[in-house]
């Protein structure tokens, strides 16, 4: 209660959730079903902030005392595990009960005032302080009832709610406009990439350089030749690698890789040079299946000199990352994970670390121009998300939920290939291959190699990259501005709520009945209720 002590207006008091609500009630324990007569509301159904009742499952077995668990208008449910503390105010709910990981509260005060408090920073601070459990954070009904809540007079509760809704209405219109602008920028980005990979951005360039363009047949033949030559070069490099293993690097989180560690060229074939100890013998490239008529039929027509090919023809064999356990406090090398792959770049602000042997360092070493791709996630939209490795990233290794792609630099520019993975047509292929009903979506190295992409000559690729970067630089800045504005809007949301629950949002009326009188009536009503109303009985 010290959060509010001596800070509230005179007619306010500090109460608790338990004092102003009926006894909290745990939900019904049963399994979900695809059909039935009674819906079963779960934590996952309320986390988005808007219940889609058609997606809420049914009870496998209806409770014998169904009335006890039936949800009613004005009920508030709070998640006690998983998404701990998330709440939802029910308004005209369908015929339904609530599951055991939800706790129901029935407030005796203005229900919307109560719900706004559950959205406020005061409430969330209490939730953070009271989370229990290690593997799965949770909070129980007892802890929830102890959470302090500032209680104004009843009339002022109504004025506060009205003012919050007025301010939120204006703010939400601005947020909606910002989100619309974000969607429009995404549409523009996709339209630009579509034009780029259909050759429309470089139509004039091709006309001006027609004499230097190779034919599609010549490009396909060169792809085969380059793959064979690359394998021979890798094999030769491997056979020459006779030097001893590099020393184990355990210099701490900021250690840069020593010069004796194998490194990768920034240009040419992108092949391995220097010490190659610990690297396995290169494998001959596997024959890739030819493009089928069905695959080609779904693809747009390409300009002269362009071809469709599979990703596997343009890269070394994809390599999975390390499965070694990493942690924030380990004195070792940084390991890139899924959270580090953001918007086409590596973001190393959230790094974990581990110690590695020289052979492991050689196996999971990154080079400039490598592409890291997310191979597994609960959200299929995240599977296939990529990041381009830069000079600043080469001292890190990479984890097992990522796959390293190493482009053949004489065939494809890394930035060109990276943009290919963002193209809607490529995303469609990835999601078709990755989507699963098990809850974990996954794409493997073979499926990545089988992806069909459009390819042109290296010089045209460079021209395309220049065009894309020039046009998207302003888009990137606009997206950053929109994201910042949305963060500021959310901060303003929280600021409004903070003012509301500290008595600073609306003026006080000295004629209002003090909150102490309201609390006394609530306590009297609770004490005189010999038989709790439906839904107020604790289990």
Give the pLDDT score at 257.
39
3-state secondary structure of 387: strand
- What is the per-residue pLDDT across 179-224, written as a single tens digit (0 to 9) for each? 999 999 999 999 999 999 999 999 999 999 988 888 999 999 999 8
- Among 316, 345, 315, 299, which residue's Cα sits nearest to residue 453? 299
What is the distance between the alpha carbons of residues 476 and 356, in angstroms, rounded to a whole number? 37
Fold of 214-456: Adenine-n6-DNA-methyltransferase TaqI; Chain A, domain 2 (3.90.220)
- Pairing mode, if any, of strands 397-398 and 333-336? parallel
Does the fold of domain 214-456 match that of domain 13-153+512-528?
A: yes
Give the pLDDT score at 5.
65
Give the pLDDT score at 283.
82
The CATH classification of domain 13-153+512-528, taken from the options 3.40.50.1000, 3.40.50.11540, 3.40.50.11260, 3.90.220.20: 3.90.220.20
DSSP assignment of 438-500, as one string? SS-EE--HHHHHT-EEEE--HHHHHHHHHHHHHHHHHHHHHHHHHHHHHHHHHHHHHHHHHHH
* Contact status, residue 450 vs residue 312, Cβ threshold 8 Å: yes
- What is the per-residue pLDDT across 16-53, written as a single tens digit (0 to 9) for each? 999 999 899 999 999 999 999 999 999 999 998 999 99
- Among 26, 84, 69, which residue's Cα sits nearest to residue 534? 69
Phi, psi of 211 (to 5 degrees): -65, -20
Q: Domain residue spans in the chain?
A: 13-153+512-528, 214-456
Helices vs. strands in the chain: H and E counts, helices first: 15, 25
Give the pLDDT score at 248.
42
Q: Which positions of the chain have pLDDT values less than 50?
A: 1, 245-278, 530-539
For 232, residues 6+ apart whose C-beta sits below 8 A from its C-beta are: none
Give the pLDDT score at 244.
53
Give the pLDDT score at 14.
94
Kindly state the tokens that stand for 320. 């999975």
* Contact status, residue 356 vs residue 330, Cβ threshold 8 Å: no
């Amino acid at each position: 209660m010290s959060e509010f002590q001596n800070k509230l207006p005179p007619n306010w008091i500090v109460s608790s959730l338990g004092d102003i609500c009926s006894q909290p009630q745990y939900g019904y324990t049963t399994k979900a079903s695809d059909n039935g007569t009674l819906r079963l509301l779960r934590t996952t159904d309320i986390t988005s902030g808007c219940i889609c009742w058609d997606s809420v499952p049914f009870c496998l077995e209806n409770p014998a005392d169904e009335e006890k668990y039936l949800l009613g208008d004005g009920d508030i449910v709070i998640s006690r595990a998983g998404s701990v503390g998330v709440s939802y105010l029910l308004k005209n709910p369908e015929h339904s009960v609530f599951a055991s990981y939800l706790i129901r509260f029935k407030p005796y005060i203005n229900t919307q005032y109560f719900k706004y408090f559950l959205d406020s920073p005061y409430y969330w601070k209490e939730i953070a302080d009271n989370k229990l459990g290690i593997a799965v954070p949770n909070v129980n009904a007892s802890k929830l009832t102890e959470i302090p809540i500032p209680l104004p007079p009843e009339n002022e509760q109504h004025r506060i709610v009205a003012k919050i809704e007025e301010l939120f209405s204006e703010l939400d219109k601005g947020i909606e406009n910002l989100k619309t602008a974000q969607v429009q920028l995404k549409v523009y980005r996709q339209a630009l990439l579509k034009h780029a990979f259909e050759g429309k951005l470089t139509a004039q360039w091709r006309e001006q350089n027609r004499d230097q363009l190779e034919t599609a047949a010549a490009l396909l033949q060169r792809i085969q030749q380059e793959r064979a030559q690359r394998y021979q070069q890798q094999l030769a490099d491997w056979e020459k690698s006779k030097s001893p293993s590099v020393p184990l690097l355990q210099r701490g989180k900021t250690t840069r890789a020593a010069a004796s560690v194998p490194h990768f060229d920034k240009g040419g074939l992108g092949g391995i040079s220097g010490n190659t100890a610990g690297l396995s013998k290169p494998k001959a490239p596997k024959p890739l299946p030819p493009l089928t008529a069905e695959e080609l039929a779904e693809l747009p027509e390409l300009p002269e000199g362009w071809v469709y090919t599979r990703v596997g023809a343009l890269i070394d064999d994809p390599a999975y990352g390390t499965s070694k356990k990493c942690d924030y406090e380990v004195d070792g090398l940084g390991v890139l994970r899924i959270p580090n792959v953001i918007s086409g770049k590596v973001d190393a602000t959230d790094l974990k670390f581990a110690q590695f042997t020289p052979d492991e360092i050689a196996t999971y070493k990154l080079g400039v121009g490598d592409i890291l791709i997310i191979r597994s996630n609960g959200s299929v939209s995240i599977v296939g998300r990529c990041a381009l490795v830069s000079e600043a990233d080469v001292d890190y290794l990479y984890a097992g939920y990522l796959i390293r792609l190493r482009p053949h630099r004489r065939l494809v520019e890394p930035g060109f290939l990276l943009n290919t993975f963002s193209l809607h047509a490529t995303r469609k292929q990835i999601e078709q291959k990755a989507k699963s009903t098990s809850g974990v979506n996954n794409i493997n190295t073979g499926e990545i190699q089988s992806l069909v992409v459009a390819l042109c000559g290296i010089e045209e690729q460079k021209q395309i990259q220049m065009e894309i970067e020039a046009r998207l630089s302003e888009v990137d800045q606009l997206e950053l501005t929109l994201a910042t504005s949305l963060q500021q809007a959310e901060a303003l949301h929280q600021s409004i709520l903070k003012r509301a629950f500290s008595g600073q949002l609306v003026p006080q009326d000295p004629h209002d009945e003090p909150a102490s009188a309201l609390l006394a009536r609530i306590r009297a009503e609770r004490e005189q209720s010999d038989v709790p109303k439906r839904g107020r009985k604790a289990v």
